[in-house]
Structure 1
């Protein structure tokens, strides 16, 4: 066991001191060796490095975690990063740390960071779709599945391409299988269990996912016209 740990450490040390760096412009899982070969290797029994402003966070060598880098704007200096680790390296119940900031080369400017839970085999899968009807595709980060994989949950980040902002929608990760309904400008949830149910949500001006009305059973085989009528009725009742 001791020999295995030594071999693993030597491998990490070699990777961290290599001059090879792999970085892609498209959203991808990125294996990074830092630009500076002098960066100290993170030992397995150490905590994750902190994120003080103007330090180097992105593209660091981290044998404890897997990094993913995503570029939500045309200006690729803005970076959304997911640091997938294990619970013992972050907070209890959290398996990943997400960062939004600017890669300035030798230093980074971290705008915000947050510890979240991501199902270990989910790897922080990213999807894009417009959830606030502004014509800009927002970013969905996979959280976990339920009901034997039939139900999926995501974190939602609203993308403001003009101001270069990413805003996390509170409570969105509790919405099962979310789909944006452009006609009614609501988020439709569809939970699959013994019986399947629809729920309707709106994203408030305070960037919170708020449920509207009561959930209703899909006893109409997801007929689009009937679903449209039910959503319209819920919204009408909510306005009264």
Structure 2
């Protein structure tokens, strides 16, 4: 049985088409197959992601660049992956440079509350993807338009909203808001790594809150 899901995304002049193909008998026995040509410079690059299940579960990611009428392989990544989750690939701009980047779900933690992703940022100068090596340390990551950063949401005995900047191939945390044990703690982190507590006091409200700003303190509303 073949399950073909068509996903359409539009650019200013024409529509690019992506698809997820779930069929073990096709795509070189790939369990999932995702292709998108809106990554990076639209129409000039495409990403091809496949999930395979053998003795282990792994993902292969290939980046191609268009060379006249052909596609030239630029990069090839391989990663082990949680076998239960689908890849749930997202192509969007994560660093506000106008070029689409990429994430896929690699694992899950805290009984499903912490969604773990691998993040790849398109580097226009090099024409390649930069794998953000510590992106899995920032669960439920997303792009924060208000602060032009990446924010994350860690769930454990309490919760922590984390704010980070992309620096090279890593995310560097610069602030956090923690709700734990009926306390709220806001910490900023200087470039040299030193931490400064700017608020630490009793908090009687809901502990499951994701914040979109730490100064002034502002919550996300609705879905996030």
Query: TM-score with structure 2 length normalisation?
Result: 0.62
Q: Does 1:67 align with 2:21?
A: no
1:168 to partner: Cα distance = 1.9
Size of the aligned set, in residue pairs, is 181
Indicate which of 194, 199, 222 corresponds to 2:162: 199
| Structure 1 contact 30–69 (Cα < 8 Å) conserved | no
Corresponding residue number in structure 1 for 2:73:
110
Deviation at 1:117, TM superposition (A): 2.6
Matched, 1:86 2:73: no
Q: Aligned pair in 2 of structure 1 residues 62, 199: CA closer, same or farther (>3 Å)?
A: same
Structure 1 residues 31 and 102: CA distance shift in structure 2, 3 A: farther
- Residue aligning to 1:146: 109
Q: Structure 1: any 5+ residue segments left out of the alignment?
A: 1-21, 33-43, 45-59, 232-240
1:119–1:105: structure 2 CA closer, same or farther, 3 Å change rule? Answer: farther
Question: Kindly tell me: are residues 104 and 123 of structure 1, through their superposed partners in 2, closer, same or farther at Cα, counting changes over 3 Å?
Answer: farther
Q: Which one has the bigger strand percentage?
A: 2
Are 1:177 and 1:191, in contact at CA under 8 Å, matched by a contact in 2? yes
Range 207-216 or range 135-144, more displaced:
207-216
Kindly indicate which of the two structures has a greater share of residues assigned to helix.
1
In structure 1, the partner of 2:171 is 209
Query: Larger C-alpha radius of gyration, 1 or 2?
Result: 1
Specify the alignment match of 1:127 in structure 2: 90
Structure 2 vs 1, CA of residues 98 and 184 (structure 1 numbering), >3 Å: closer, same or farther?
Answer: same
Name the CA shift for 1:230/1:170 in 2 (closer, same or farther; >3 Å). farther
Counterpart CA distance in 2 for 1:119 and 1:29 is 18
For residues 211 and 176 of structure 2, the distance between their equivalents in structure 1, rounded to whole angstroms, comes to 19
**Which secondary structure does the structure 1 equivalent of 2:216 belong to?**
helix
Distance 1:78 1:225, change over 3 A: closer
Q: Distance between the aligned counterparts of 1:223 and 1:176, measured in 2?
A: 12
Q: Please give the alpha-carbon distance, in whole angstroms, between the structure 2 residues aligned to 1:213 and 1:74.
A: 32
How far apart, in 2, do the equivalents of 1:123 and 1:226 lie? Answer: 31
| Aligned 8 A contact 1:191 1:198 in 2 | yes
Q: Describe the SS at the equivalent of 2:214.
A: helix
Q: Is the 8 A contact 2:161 2:211 kept in 1?
A: no
